[in-house]
C-alpha cells in the first residue's frame, strides 16, 4: 500500500554509502550494453579497450572467440567482428591490448587443461597472428607499461582426479625478440618463502605444484611484477630485469571476531545477520591492481576466495561437520547450529594447530572485502564488513543472492558472500586513484577513493541487475561482473572517463560514465554568506514521504521551504549553493533542486503559483555511518533572485522515484525560518500542504541557502565557491573535461558552449587569484 511514512535516524541495520562532506565524490552512470543473449556460459568475461579505434575486445567462452565491439557510442555498443583463436587451443582465458604497438594479446588454454597453453598476439591493423608457448592454464594476461613484454599468470590447476598437477608460474614474452620463458617455483630458495603459505593439497604434492598464480600486475615503472597466488593466500614478487623471484609471502588472515570485520555466515537463518564470529577469513584475491601514491607502490585486491574442490581431493568442509576443540570453542554446540556457523565452508587443511584431530581455529574462504597491501606484502588497509553492510542496506530482501537466479535471498552467506572478484584502478581529477570492484554474486560495482591507502573511502555502489526479472530468460539485467576496464577521459570516445564491465552469467557488456569532482559539506566555508541558519542546527530525524512499504519504494515527492526578503536580509541576492538535509536509507537516486519565486500562497502559507528561476539535478547517494547527512547542491553560476516586488523564494527538492528504500528530507522538530511543505500526486496531494495538514506535525526540513546579498561577485571560474580561483578550481575543471552529456558534467563549461575545453581553461587561468 502507499502511505506517508516517517523513519528516524536510528535503524537496526547500518546504512552505508558515499560520505557526504568528503572532498571527492563520484557516481557511475549506466550507459548502453551489448548482450550476447547467452546465459551462464561465460559469453562475456574479460575485456580490453583500444583507444585508437574505440573498440572493446571481449572474451566469449561460449563461441570460443573474442567479440569486437564498436564502442564509439557507448550508449549503444555493437558487435562488428569476432576473432576466432580455436585452432590455438581450447578456451580464451584473458585478453589485453597495447594501443601503441597495435597488438592484442590473448591467453589460450590447451585442449588438455594441464598441458602448456599459448600466448597469441594479434596485429590489430592487419589481423596477422603469432603464437608463443606459455605455462599450464595461462589464466590472465597483461602487457608491461611500455608494451615491450607480455606476461601470463599460469595457474597450473590439476586435473579433476588430481593425478596430474603441473607447476604454476608466470610466462614472460619479450615482444621484440619473439621469445617466451616460463618461470615456476621449482627450485626456489626456501629462505625467500615466508610462513603461513596455504598449500592445501594431497600428500606428495610439491611446493611448485601447490602454487597457483591467478593474477599479475606490474609496478608503474615495469621493474617489478606482483603475482597473486589465490589458493595459496600469498603474493610473489618478481624482479623483471633479473628474471628472478624476490620473495613469496602470506597475505595473513582476517579476524572476523572483530567488530569491523563482521560477516553473515549462514544461508539457513532466513535473515540478514552480519555479526562477529570466531573464524578467520583467508583473503585469497582473484584480481589485483597496483597504484602509486606519493611515489610508493600499493596493491589493491578483490578478496574473492577459492577452494580446491576436485573429485580426487577437496579441502572444503562445513563447520557443522567438524569436531571442534572444547577449549578453543566451549560454545561449539551453539556455533555449529546451521543458523550460526554450522553452514559456512572452511578449509579442512587448516585449523588443527596441535595435530590432535580436532579444530582449534577455523578459516573460511575469502574476506568479502577489498584490501590494500604495500609493495612488501604488508596489509595496509581492509574494507572490513562494508561490502556486506552496503549490499544489505541497499538491496535488503535480495542480500547475498546468487548470480544465476533471483529470489535467492541469503543464498551465498555460507559461501563467500558478495564475492568481490574483479578490480581495476583509474586515476581521476589530477591523479586521484580510484578502485572499481565487481561483486560476482550479488552483482554491481563498488568504487573506493585510494588517495589515502591506509583509509580507502567508499564512494558509491551501483547494481544494474533487475531482481524482478528472470535470469535464465535474460530479463534480469547484468549478472556476475567479471572483467573491468577503466577508460581515461583522454582515451574515451566521449571525452569523459568510462568503465567497461563484462558480466559472465548474463553474457552482457555494459559501459558506465564516471562522474567525479570535488565539493565541500558546508558550501559557504569559506565562500558565500549564509542567508539562513537552520542547516547548521544538526539533524535529529528523518522526514516524511509518499512510500510503498510493500515494495520498499519511495514514490514521487516534493518538499519546499519558503523565505521572504526580510529572512534573507536583502531583496536582491545571488544563490551560489545550498546545504540540504537528506535522509536516505536506500540506494542511489536522482533528485532535482529548484528555486522558484512565488507571490500567491494558501491560508497556511503553502506556495500555490510557482515561477521557476533555476533547476539543478543532483544525485542522492546512500549515506555512510547513519542515514542522515547534509548534502551540498551547487549551481554552476550564481542564480540571481529579485524579491523587490514582494514575492518570496521557494526552495524545492523533487524526488521523482526511488526504487530502493526510503528517501526523504532530514531535519528536526525545531525550525528557524517557517514551515516545510509537501506534495505528491501518487499520495493524492497535487498542491503543497503543510506536514501538519496531513497529520505529521513537528517535522521540519533543515537547509541553508548560501550566496551574496546585493550584487554578487562575478567570478564564474570560482567553481568551488571559496572566493578564489585556484588549483582546486583547476582540478574541478580538468575532472569534467570533454563534452557535457549531463547538466552536472558541465561544471567548468565557463563559456557555455556545451563542452569543457581549452577555451574554458584559458578563462579560468585569466581569472586566477581572489575574486573581485
CATH of the domain at 48: 2.130.10.10
Q: Are residues 188 and 306 in the same domain?
A: yes
Cell of 428: 581521476
Q: At what angle do helices 758-766 and 727-735 cross, to 10 degrees?
A: 170
> Strand ranges (DSSP E) for 585-647?
589-598, 610-620, 628-642
What H or E segment, with its residue span, contains residue 437? Answer: strand 432-439
Q: Are residues 314 and 181 in the same domain?
A: yes
Q: Report the alpha-carbon distance of residue 500 to residue 509 in Å, rounded.
A: 7
Q: What is the pLDDT of residue 10?
A: 20
Q: Answer left, alpha or beta for residue 217, where phi above 0 means left and psi between -120 and 50 means alpha.
A: beta
Q: Are residues 511 and 544 in the same domain?
A: no
DSSP 86: G
Cell of 416: 563467500
3-class DSSP state of 731: helix
Q: Report the alpha-carbon distance of residue 206 to residue 657 in Å, rounded.
A: 59
Task: Measure Cα distances from 33 to 27, 416, 633 in Å.
Answer: 18, 28, 30
Q: Are residues 413 and 502 in the same domain?
A: yes
Q: Report the alpha-carbon distance of residue 135 to residue 153 in Å, rounded.
A: 8
The residue to which cell 615466508 is assigned: 194
3-class DSSP state of 395: helix
Phi, psi of 366 (to 5 degrees): 85, 170
Which of 500, 518, 536 terminates a domain? The answer is 518
The 10 Å Cβ neighbour count of residue 548 is 16
**Ranges in the chain, pLDDT < 70:** 1-23, 517-538, 622-626, 671-673, 710-715, 721-722, 727, 731, 734-747, 751-754, 758-759, 762, 766, 772
What H or E segment, with its residue span, contains residue 209? Answer: helix 207-210
Cell of 338: 546451521
Q: Are residues 686 and 745 in the same domain?
A: no
**Contact yes or no for 559/609 (Cβ under 8 A):** no
16 domain residue, yes or no: no
Task: Measure Cα distances from 143 to 97, 148, 227, 757 in Å.
Answer: 7, 7, 14, 32
Q: Are residues 141 and 102 in the same domain?
A: yes
Q: Report the alpha-carbon distance of residue 440 to residue 412 in Å, rounded.
A: 11
| CB neighbour burial string for 279-303, b if at least 16 within 10 angstroms, e if fewer | bbbbbbbbbbbbbbbeeebbbbbbb
Which residues, 6+ apart, have CB-to-CB distance to 194 below 8 Å? 234, 247, 248, 249, 250, 377
DSSP string, 99-117: TTTTEEEEEE--SSTTSEE
Q: Report the alpha-carbon distance of residue 92 to residue 120 in Å, rounded.
A: 10
Q: Report the alpha-carbon distance of residue 259 to residue 256 in Å, rounded.
A: 8
Cell of 279: 573464524
| CB neighbour burial string for 595-620, b if at least 16 within 10 angstroms, e if fewer | bbbbeeeeeeebbeebeebbebebbb
Centroid of chain to Cα 444: 7
Return the closest-CA partner of residue 113 out of 133, 84, 86, 89. Answer: 89
What H or E segment, with its residue span, contains residue 568? Answer: helix 565-568
Rg (CA), the chain: 28
Q: Are residues 271 and 326 in the same domain?
A: yes
pTM (two decimals): 0.71
**Contact yes or no for 237/225 (Cβ under 8 A):** yes
Q: Are residues 501 and 590 in the same domain?
A: no
Q: Report the alpha-carbon distance of residue 222 to residue 292 in Å, rounded.
A: 13
Q: Are residues 411 and 556 in the same domain?
A: no
Task: Identify the domain containing residue 738 by its residue range.
Answer: 724-770
Q: What is the pLDDT of residue 335?
A: 98
Which of 709, 735, 756 terminates a domain? The answer is 709
3-class DSSP state of 371: strand
The tally of CA atoms less than 13 A away on the side-chain side of residue 741 is 19
17 domain residue, yes or no: no
Q: Report the alpha-carbon distance of residue 635 to residue 665 in Å, rounded.
A: 20
Q: Report the alpha-carbon distance of residue 64 to residue 58 in Å, rounded.
A: 11
167 domain residue, yes or no: yes
- pLDDT tens-place string over residues 368-377: 999 999 999 9
Task: Measure Cα distances from 395 to 409, 458, 574 in Å.
Answer: 10, 17, 40
The tally of CA atoms less than 13 A away on the side-chain side of residue 578 is 29
Task: Measure Cα distances from 567 to 490, 642, 667 in Å.
Answer: 47, 14, 19
**Contact yes or no for 659/462 (Cβ under 8 A):** no
248 domain residue, yes or no: yes
Q: Are residues 617 and 627 in the same domain?
A: yes
Q: Report the alpha-carbon distance of residue 468 to residue 475 in Å, rounded.
A: 8
Sign of CA dihedral 338, 339, 341, 347: positive
532 domain residue, yes or no: yes
**Contact yes or no for 459/17 (Cβ under 8 A):** no
Q: Are residues 420 and 290 in the same domain?
A: yes
Q: Report the alpha-carbon distance of residue 696 to residue 181 in Å, rounded.
A: 73
Cell of 413: 552467506
**Contact yes or no for 677/559 (Cβ under 8 A):** yes
Which residues, 6+ apart, have CB-to-CB distance to 621 below 8 Å? 17, 18, 20, 25, 27, 460, 584, 588
Cell of 707: 550566496
716 domain residue, yes or no: no
Q: Are residues 536 and 430 in the same domain?
A: no
Which of 518, 546, 564 terminates a domain? The answer is 518
Q: Report the alpha-carbon distance of residue 104 to residue 108 in Å, rounded.
A: 13
Which residues, 6+ apart, have CB-to-CB distance to 321 below 8 Å? none
718 domain residue, yes or no: no
418 domain residue, yes or no: yes
**Contact yes or no for 363/344 (Cβ under 8 A):** no
User: Distance between terminal CA atoms of the chain?
Assistant: 55
The tally of CA atoms less than 13 A away on the side-chain side of residue 234 is 23
Q: Report the alpha-carbon distance of residue 636 to residue 349 in Å, rounded.
A: 60
Length of the chain: 772
Query: How many structural domains is the chain composed of?
Result: 3
Amino acid at each position: 500500500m502507499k502511505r506517508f511514512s516517517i523513519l528516524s535516524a536510528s535503524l537496526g541495520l547500518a546504512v552505508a554509502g558515499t560520505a557526504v562532506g568528503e572532498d571527492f565524490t563520484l557516481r557511475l552512470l549506466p550507459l548502453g550494453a551489448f548482450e550476447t543473449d547467452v546465459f551462464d556460459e561465460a559469453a562475456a568475461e574479460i575485456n580490453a579497450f583500444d583507444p585508437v579505434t574505440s573498440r572493446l575486445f571481449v572474451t566469449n567462452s561460449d563461441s570460443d572467440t573474442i567479440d569486437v565491439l564498436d564502442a564509439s557510442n557507448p550508449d549503444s555498443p555493437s558487435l562488428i567482428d569476432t576473432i576466432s583463436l580455436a585452432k590455438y587451443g581450447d578456451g580464451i582465458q584473458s585478453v589485453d591490448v597495447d594501443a601503441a604497438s597495435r597488438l592484442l594479446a590473448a591467453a589460450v588454454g590447451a585442449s588438455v587443461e594441464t598441458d602448456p597453453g599459448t600466448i597469441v598476439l594479434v596485429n590489430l591493423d592487419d589481423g596477422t597472428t603469432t603464437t608463443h608457448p606459455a605455462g599450464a592454464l595461462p589464466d590472465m594476461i597483461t602487457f608491461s607499461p611500455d608494451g615491450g613484454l607480455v606476461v601470463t599468470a599460469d595457474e597450473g590447476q590439476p586435473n579433476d582426479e588430481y593425478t596430474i598437477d603441473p607447476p604454476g608460474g608466470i610466462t614472460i614474452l619479450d615482444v621484440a625478440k619473439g621469445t617466451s620463458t616460463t618461470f615456476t617455483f621449482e627450485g626456489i630458495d626456501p629462505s625467500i618463502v615466508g610462513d603461513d603459505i596455504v598449500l592445501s593439497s594431497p600428500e606428495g604434492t610439491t611446493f611448485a605444484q601447490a602454487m597457483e598464480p591467478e593474477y599479475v600486475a606490474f609496478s608503474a615503472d615495469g621493474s617489478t611484477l606482483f603475482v597473486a597466488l589465490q589458493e595459496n593466500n600469498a603474493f610473489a614478487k618478481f624482479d623483471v630485469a633479473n628474471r628472478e623471484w624476490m620473495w613469496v609471502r602470506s597475505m595473513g588472515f582476517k579476524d572476523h571476531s572483530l567488530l569491523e570485520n563482521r560477516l553473515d555466515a549462514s544461508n539457513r537463518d532466513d535473515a540478514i545477520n552480519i555479526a562477529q564470529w570466531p573464524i578467520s577469513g583467508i583473503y585469497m584475491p582473484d584480481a589485483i591492481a597496483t597504484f602509486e601514491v606519493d611515489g610508493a607502490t600499493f596493491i589493491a585486491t578483490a578478496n574473492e576466495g577459492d577452494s580446491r574442490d576436485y573429485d580426487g581431493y577437496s579441502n572444503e568442509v562445513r563447520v557443522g561437520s567438524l569436531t571442534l576443540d572444547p577449549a578453543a570453542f566451549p560454545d561449539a554446540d551453539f556455533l555449529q547450529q546451521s543458523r550460526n556457523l554450522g553452514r559456512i565452508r572452511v578449509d579442512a587443511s587448516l585449523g588443527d594447530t596441535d595435530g590432535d584431530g580436532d579444530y582449534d581455529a577455523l578459516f573460511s574462504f575469502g574476506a568479502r572485502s577489498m584490501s590494500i597491501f604495500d609493495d612488501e606484502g604488508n596489509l595496509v588497509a581492509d574494507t572490513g564488513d562494508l561490502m556486506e553492510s552496503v549490499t544489505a542496506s541497499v538491496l535488503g530482501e535480495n542480500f547475498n543472492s546468487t548470480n544465476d537466479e533471483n529470489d535467492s535471498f541469503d543464498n551465498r552467506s555460507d559461501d563467500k558472500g558478495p564475492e568481490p572478484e574483479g578490480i581495476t584502478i583509474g586515476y581521476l581529477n589530477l591523479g586521484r586513484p580510484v578502485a572499481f570492484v565487481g561483486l560476482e554474486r550479488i552483482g554491481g560495482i563498488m568504487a573506493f577513493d585510494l588517495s589515502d591507502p591506509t583509509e580507502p573511502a567508499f564512494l558509491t555502489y551501483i547494481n544494474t541487475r533487475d531482481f524482478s526479472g528472470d535470469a535464465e530468460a535474460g530479463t534480469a539485467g547484468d549478472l556476475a561482473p567479471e572483467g573491468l576496464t577503466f577508460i581515461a577521459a583522454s582515451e574515451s570516445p566521449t571525452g569523459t572517463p568510462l568503465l567497461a564491465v563484462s558480466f559472465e552469467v548474463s553474457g552482457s557488456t555494459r559501459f558506465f560514465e564516471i562522474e567525479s569532482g570535488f565539493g565541500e559539506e558546508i558550501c559557504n566555508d569559506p565562500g558565500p554568506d549564509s542567508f539562513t541558519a537552520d542547516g547548521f542546527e544538526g539533524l535529529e530525524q528523518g522526514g516524511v514521504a509518499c512510500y510503498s512499504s510493500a515494495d520498499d519504494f519511495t514514490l514521487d515527492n516534493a518538499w519546499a521551504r519558503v523565505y521572504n526578503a526580510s529572512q534573507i536580509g536583502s531583496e536582491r541576492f545571488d544563490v551560489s549553493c545550498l546545504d540540504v538535509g537528506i535522509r536516505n536509507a536506500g540506494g542511489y537516486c536522482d533528485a532535482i533542486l529548484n528555486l522558484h519565486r512565488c507571490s500567491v500562497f494558501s491560508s497556511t502559507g503553502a506556495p500555490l503559483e510557482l515561477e521557476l528561476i533555476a533547476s539543478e539535478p543532483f544525485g542522492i547517494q546512500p549515506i555512510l555511518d547513519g542515514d542522515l547527512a547534509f548534502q551540498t547542491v551547487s549551481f554552476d553560476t550564481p542564480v540571481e533572485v529579485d524579491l523587490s516586488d514582494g514575492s518570496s523564494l521557494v526552495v524545492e527538492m523533487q524526488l521523482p522515484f526511488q526504487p530502493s528504500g526510503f528517501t526523504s528530507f532530514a531535519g528536526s522538530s525545531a525550525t528557524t525560518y517557517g514551515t516545510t511543505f509537501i506534495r505528491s500526486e501518487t499520495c493524492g496531494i497535487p498542491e503543497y500542504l503543510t506536514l501538519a495538514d496531513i497529520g505529521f506535525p513537528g517535522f521540519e526540513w533543515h537547509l541553508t541557502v548560501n550566496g551574496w546579498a546585493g550584487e554578487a561577485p562575478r567570478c564564474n571560474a570560482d567553481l568551488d565557491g571559496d572566493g578564489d580561483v585556484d588549483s582546486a578550481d583547476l582540478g574541478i575543471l580538468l575532472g569534467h573535461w570533454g563534452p557535457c552529456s549531463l547538466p552536472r558534467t558541465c561544471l567548468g563549461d565557463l563559456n557555455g558552449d556545451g563542452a569543457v575545453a581549452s577555451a574554458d581553461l584559458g578563462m579560468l587561468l585569466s581569472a586566477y587569484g581572489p575574486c573581485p
